[in-house]
Amino acid sequence: MSKKPGSKKDSIRDWPLWMWGCLCIFGGAMTGALNSMGRPVTAEDRAAALGGALAALTFIGGGVVLIILHFVRRGRRP
């Protein structure tokens, strides 16, 4: 399958790191918000809620790291 010169895949790859970081932070926040809607009843539910919260925080932390990398690497040219 041939690639078009202006395909969506290429345009998404050209996004700067700060945009990827904002996307990760937004996704982590939405995941945390959706995860907190259910009220845990049993120990298994609480463990699942804790795992979901840790995953959301990891995603948010990764977004912050991507934004920091964007500003640290700004002066370097590939």
Predicted confidence band of residue 54 (pLDDT cuts 50, 70, 90)? very high
pTM of the full structure: 0.75
Per-domain residue ranges of the chain: 15-72
CB 54 within 8 A of CB 35: no
Nearest to 20 by CA among 59, 58, 52: 59
Q: Which of 3, 55, 67, 2 is nearest to 30 (CA)?
A: 55
Average pLDDT along the chain: 84
**Cα 53 off chain centre by:** 14
